């Protein structure tokens, strides 16, 4: 099928993840190799909605030169936002109130006016839900799955996850020696939103003694018992990895800020709560380390870089084949395509019967249950 494409645009939305620049580079080069023009939209869709904020007008040409040497860099040269959902935009009104506005019409009008034929939208659940809505309103769209949280369905993994897990694992490796030297409990809080992938993978790879994830509500007494049991065996230190979204059996998830129009709630603080509870119950010295945004920074691993480039080039191939309303996904052995509507609004948590959880249990790791 002929694509009749002359121009495409690419945008990055939601929290940044290592590998975004590698996708942008692959998209821009694969497009140039087909004789297409490629444009970058700044900060999600803000470059289209608020061009006056940007000296270059918010949308700029992504030439080969513009994407040279960026594949190994963290962040995104386009900028990103997790406050700019154009379907639910928090518009400040003259009376001081905030109204929930749907600005998708402005985006469609921009694409028509500039004769841009298609969009590559790189993002997580929120961005892919927006991409799906734009597709349903008539825009040609291909999504690319990004997030350190690995919580997107229908893809084996998202780029950014491997880098985050690798860094968290290195941090755990470093914490073992200081924890052992001081006979302390180290509680390490990691990101992941409502999924425990980062905590689970880094916790097992980094030989933690307890891993607490949102999919398994935890009882802090069980974690304290694990710490005491180790002490009685002469292993006087413990490492507890906790996902920011982990919930106690008898309480609530720790939240730093509630959801607002166009912006999800901010999680955080569970590490401190667990640290205090373990200190009370075990009498041990406890320290809490929050890895937070460190997990989002730095250079993508070669796995994430390659996945990102495969995704970017597959997105362009999909458009060339005349496809729309799909997300490129990592399967075996090849990248494949899944309908955006099968992904939008669905979260992939850790399956409790996965062999990775089983591995943790076989190794004697406490999951707080
Ligand atoms: O989705 C990626 C992520 O890093 C989550 O793990 C975390 O909860 C959230 O984004 C943090 O967002 P912000 O950058 O707004 O603090």
Ligand 1 centroid to Cα of residue 295, in Å, is 10
Atom number in ligand 1 closest to CA 296: 4
Q: Taking the complete model, does pTM exceed 0.85, yes or no? A: yes
Whether 7-159+300-342 and 162-297 share one fold: the answer is yes
> Ligand 1 pocket, 296 CB below 6 A?
yes
What pLDDT is attached to residue 360? 98
Rounded Cα distance between 330 and 310, Å, is: 9
Q: Residue 84 corresponds to which tokens in the numbers above?
A: 């700019």
Ligand 1 centroid to Cα of residue 225, in Å, is 31
Tally DSSP H helices, then E strands, for the chain.
Answer: 10, 15
Q: Residue 218 corresponds to which tokens in the numbers above?
A: 């935890």
Q: Residue 152 corresponds to which tokens in the numbers above?
A: 């997107």
Ligand 1 centroid to Cα of residue 118, in Å, is 28
Atom number in ligand 1 closest to CA 191: 6
> Ligand 1 pocket, 193 CB below 6 A?
yes
> Ligand 1 pocket, 82 CB below 6 A?
yes
First to last CA, the chain: 54
Mean pLDDT in order along the chain per 10 residues (369 residues) = 82 97 98 98 97 97 97 98 88 89 96 98 95 97 98 97 98 98 98 98 98 98 98 98 97 93 90 98 98 98 98 98 97 96 95 97 98
> Ligand 1 pocket, 188 CB below 6 A?
no
Atom number in ligand 1 closest to CA 268: 8
306: exposed, middle or buried (Cβ count in 10 Å: 0-12, 13-18, 19+): middle
Can 149 be counted among the known catalytic residues?
yes
Ligand 1 centroid to Cα of residue 114, in Å, is 33
Alpha helices in 13-156 (DSSP H): 20-32, 46-49, 104-113, 125-136
CATH topology for 7-159+300-342? Answer: Rossmann fold (3.40.50)
DSSP state for residue 307 in the 8-state scheme = H
> Ligand 1 pocket, 264 CB below 6 A?
no
Helix axes 355-362, 197-205, angle to 10 degrees: 40
Domain layout of the chain by residue ranges? 7-159+300-342, 162-297
Please check whether residue 143 is in contact with residue 326, taking contact to mean a CB–CB distance below 8 angstroms: yes
> Ligand 1 pocket, 192 CB below 6 A?
yes
280: exposed, middle or buried (Cβ count in 10 Å: 0-12, 13-18, 19+): exposed
Atom 8 in ligand 1: residue holding the nearest Cα: 193
CA neighbor of 185 nearest in space, from 96, 247, 108, 276: 276
> Ligand 1 pocket, 27 CB below 6 A?
no
Q: What is the chain's alpha carbon radius of gyration, rounded to the nearest angstrom? A: 22
Give the class (CATH, top level) of 162-297. Answer: alpha beta
Rounded Cα distance between 66 and 27, Å, is: 12
What pLDDT is attached to residue 115? 97
Atom number in ligand 1 closest to CA 14: 1
Rounded Cα distance between 212 and 241, Å, is: 6
What pLDDT is attached to residue 264? 87
> Ligand 1 pocket, 34 CB below 6 A?
no
Q: Kindly name the residue from 149, 151, 153, 162 that is annotated as catalytic.
A: 149
């Amino acid at each position: 099928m002929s694509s009749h494409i002359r121009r495409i645009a690419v945008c990055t939305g939601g929290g940044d993840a290592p590998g975004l620049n590698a996708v942008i580079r692959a998209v821009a080069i694969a497009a140039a190799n087909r004789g297409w023009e490629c444009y970058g939209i700044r900060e999600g869709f803000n470059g289209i909605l608020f061009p006056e904020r940007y000296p270059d007008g918010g949308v700029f040409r992504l030439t080969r030169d513009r994407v040279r040497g960026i594949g190994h860099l963290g962040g995104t040269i386009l900028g990103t936002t997790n406050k700019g959902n154009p379907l639910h935009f928090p518009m400040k009104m003259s009376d001081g109130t905030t109204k929930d506005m749907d600005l998708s019409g402005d985006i469609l009008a921009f694409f028509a006016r500039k004769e841009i034929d298609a969009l590559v939208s790189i993002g997580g659940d929120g961005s892919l839900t927006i991409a799906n809505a734009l597709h349903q309103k008539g825009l040609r769209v291909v999504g690319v799955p990004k997030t350190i949280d690995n919580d997107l369905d229908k893809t084996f993994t998202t780029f950014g996850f491997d880098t985050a897990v690798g860094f968290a694992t290195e941090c755990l490796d470093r914490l073992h020696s200081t924890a052992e030297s001081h006979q302390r409990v180290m509680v390490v809080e990691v990101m992941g939103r409502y999924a425990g992938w980062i905590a689970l993978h880094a916790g097992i790879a980094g030989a933690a003694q307890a891993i607490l994830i949102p999919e398994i509500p935890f009882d802090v007494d069980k974690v304290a018992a694990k710490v005491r049991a180790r002490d009685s065996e002469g292993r006087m230190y413990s490492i507890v990895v906790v996902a920011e979204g982990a919930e106690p059996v008898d309480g609530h998830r720790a939240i730093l800020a509630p959801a607002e129009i166009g912006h999800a709630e901010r999680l955080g603080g569970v590490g401190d709560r667990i640290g205090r509870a373990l200190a009370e119950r075990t009498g041990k010295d406890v320290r809490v380390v929050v890895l937070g945004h460190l997990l989002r920074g730095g250079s993508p691993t070669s796995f994430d870089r390659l996945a990102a480039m495969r995704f970017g080039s597959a997105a362009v191939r999909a458009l060339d084949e005349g496809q729309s309303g799909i997300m490129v996904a990592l399967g075996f052995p090849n990248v494949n395509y899944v309908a955006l509507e099968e992904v939008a609004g669905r979260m992939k948590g850790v399956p409790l019967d996965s062999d990775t959880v089983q591995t943790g249990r076989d190794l004697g790791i406490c999951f707080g249950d």
